[in-house]
Amino acid sequence: MARESNIVHQYFKKKFEDVIILVKVNPIQFKGVEITLLPNGECEMRALEFDEGIMEDLATDGFEEASALEFNLYYSGLAK
């Protein structure tokens, strides 16, 4: 089994009218994090568990591939 440090995560992004959702997916363990960027500048995060169909679900819901840098700037609190 792959160690956590050897996993290449995948990142996705979807823009609504005034909300942005960023998602990090661990494609091996099907776990991840969702960041919701709200219009008032707040950032909400939650841990998620996915099933094997997550990539298809994200594509169906209109998510596009995103940058790991963008996700991690918000995740670390360096971007607002």
The mean of the pLDDT values for the chain is 92
Residue 3: predicted pLDDT: 58
Q: Helix, strand or coil for residue 18?
A: coil
Mean pLDDT of 24-47: 95
Whether residue 4 is predicted with pLDDT greater than 70 in this model: the reply is: no
For residues 50 and 18, what is the distance between their CA atoms, to the nearest angstrom?
26
Separation between Cα atoms, residue 12 and residue 27, nearest integer Å:
12
Q: What is the pLDDT of residue 34?
A: 98
What is the C-alpha to C-alpha distance for residues 3 and 59, in angstroms, rounded to an integer? Answer: 27
Q: Calculate mean pLDDT across residues 18-38.
A: 96
Local confidence band at 80 (pLDDT 50, 70, 90 cut-offs): confident
For the domain made up of 4-76, the CATH class stated in words is: mainly beta
Q: What share of the chain is helix, strand, coil (3-state, %, to 5)?
A: 25, 35, 40
